[in-house]
Amino acid sequence: MGGAPAGPPPLVLSGEALVASGATRIGLVNAGPVSVNDDLVLPAWATLSLTGTQVGVSGTLRAPGGQVTLNSSNSLVGGLVVPDQQLLTRIDGTIDLSGTWVNDNPLLNRVRPTAPIVLDGGRLAVNSGSAIEVSDTSRLDVSAGAWRHLHRGQGGSHRVRHRRRGGQPLLRLPAAAGR
Q: Could you read off the pLDDT of 110-158 as tens digits, one per residue?
A: 776 677 889 999 999 998 877 888 998 999 999 999 887 767 778 888 7
Q: Where are the domains of the chain?
A: 12-76+84-103+113-166
pLDDT at 44: 94
Task: State pTM to two decimals.
Answer: 0.80
Considering only CA atoms, which of 163, 143, 161 is closest in space to residue 152?
143
- Rounded Cα gap, residues 130 and 48, in angstroms: 21
Burial class (CB within 10 angstroms; exposed 0-12, middle 13-18, buried 19+) of 167: exposed
